[in-house]
Amino acid sequence: MTPQTRRQFLMTTAAAAGALGAGAFCATRAAEPKFKTTLKTALIHGLPDEKYLAELKAAGYDGMESSAWKVTPEQAATARALAEKMGLKIHSVLFGWAQLNDGKKFDEGVANITTALQVSQAYGADALLVVPCRIGGGGMKLPKPREFQFEFDAKTGRIQKCVAGDNAPYADYIAAHNVAIDATRKAFEQLIPVAKKAGVVIAHENVWNNLWVKPDIFANFVGSFQSPWLRAYFDIGNHVKYAPPEDWIRALGQLIAKCHVKDFKLNDAPGGDGKFVNIRDGSVNWGKVRGALEAIGYSGWMTIEGGSLTPAEHHQRLAQIVAGT
C-alpha cells in the first residue's frame, strides 16, 4: 500500500467511524425520555372482583382507586391480593366528604376517617382522599369563581378578605370559612398519628365545597401541618374555574400526593362558569399541566374520575396526556 493510498484508507475509516459514532449518539439521544417524571394510570371503582381487574389490565391501566371504604379489612386484603396477582395496584381509597364543621358530626367524621385509613392499609393503598367540610347554600352570598382574592393569616390559615374591595357582603362566607378551617385543623391534628401508624397519607381534596378555592390559600393550609402524612389530592378539573390547573400544581408542588384527571369547559360568561366534559374536550391545557407536573417532580398516579368514555377510550386519551402530546 502506497503512502497516499494508506492516507486515503485511514481518512475513509475515520470518517466511517465518526458517522457510526454520530449515529449511535443520535440513537441514544432519541431514546432519552421526554420527561424524567413517571405517571401511572388508574380508574375509580368500588370493591373490585377478578373480572373488573382483568378488564382494567386489558385496557392498559396500572391500577385503580377504590371508593369502597365501608368494607372489612379482610375484604380489602382479598381485593389487594387479586390486584397484585394481575400486576395491578389499588393505590388509593376515596373516602369523600366529612362534615367536620358540624359540631354534631365531628366525632363521627373523625371515627369514619380512622376506619377508612385502616381499610386503606389493608388495600395496600398509600393515600386516603378526604374532603373536609362544605359551606354555602341557604342564601349565603359567595363571590364568582374568578373574583376570589384572599387575604389570610399565614399561621392560622383564617381569612380576613375573600375579594378585592368591599367584603361586607361576604361576611357570612368569611365566618363560615374560618369555622371550617378551625374544625379541619382540629380533626387533621387528631388523625395524623393514625395515618402515620397505618402508613397511609391523608390526601385533602377540594370538590366545589367553596373552601380554599385559590392556590395560595390551599397550599398554605395543607403545608401548615408540616407533616408527610397530610398532603393534597389535586383534582385537575375541579379547579379550572378558579385558576388555571398549572398554577395550582406549581403552588402546591411537593404537597401533591395524587392527581384526579377531569376536564372542564369554561363558557363565555364572566366568573368562570362552565361544565365538566371528557378529558381533552375542555379548557384544560394538558401540555401545560404535564409540563407543570414535570417541573415540580411529580411521579405518581393520574386517576380518571367521571366521563362518558369506555375504559379503553379513557386510557387512550390519558396516555396522550402522560406522553405530553
Q: Give pLDDT, residue 29.
A: 52
Whether the predicted pLDDT of 1 surpasses 60: no
Neighbours of 204 (CB within 10 A): 24
Quote the pLDDT of residue 3: 46
Element (H, E) at 15: helix 3-31
Q: Residues 287, 271: contact at Cβ < 8 Å?
A: no
Reported pTM: 0.89
pLDDT digits (tens, 9 = 90+) for 167-192: 999 999 999 999 999 999 999 999 99
Listed in sequence order, the residues at least 6 apart from 221 whose beta carbon sits closer than 8 Å to its beta carbon are 157, 181, 184, 204, 212
pLDDT in tens, 197-213: 999 999 999 889 999 99
Closest CA to 128 of 140, 137, 139, 119: 119
Q: What are the start-end ranges of the H helices in 67-214?
A: 73-85, 106-123, 171-198
- The residues that bridge with 161 in the sheet, in sequence order, are 151
pLDDT by residue (tens digit) across 269-319? 766 689 999 999 999 999 999 999 999 999 999 999 999 999 999 999 999
Rounded mean pLDDT of the chain?
91
Give the distance from CA 271 to its chain's centroid: 24
DSSP 272: S
Q: What fold is seen in the domain 42-323?
A: TIM Barrel (3.20.20)
Mean pLDDT, residues 119-139? 96
| H or E segment and range at residue 161 | strand 159-161
Residue whose grid cell is 465518526:
18
**What is the pLDDT at residue 271?**
63
Taking only the tens place, the pLDDT of each residue in 212-225 is 999 999 999 999 99
Q: Which stretches of 199-244 are DSSP H helices?
A: 215-224
pLDDT at 10: 42
Q: In this predicted structure, what is the pLDDT of residue 272?
A: 66
- % of residues, the chain, pLDDT over 90: 84
The string of pLDDT tens digits covering residues 82-106 is 999 999 999 999 999 999 999 999 9
One-letter amino acid at 305 equals E
Between CA 112 and CA 277 the distance in angstroms is: 32
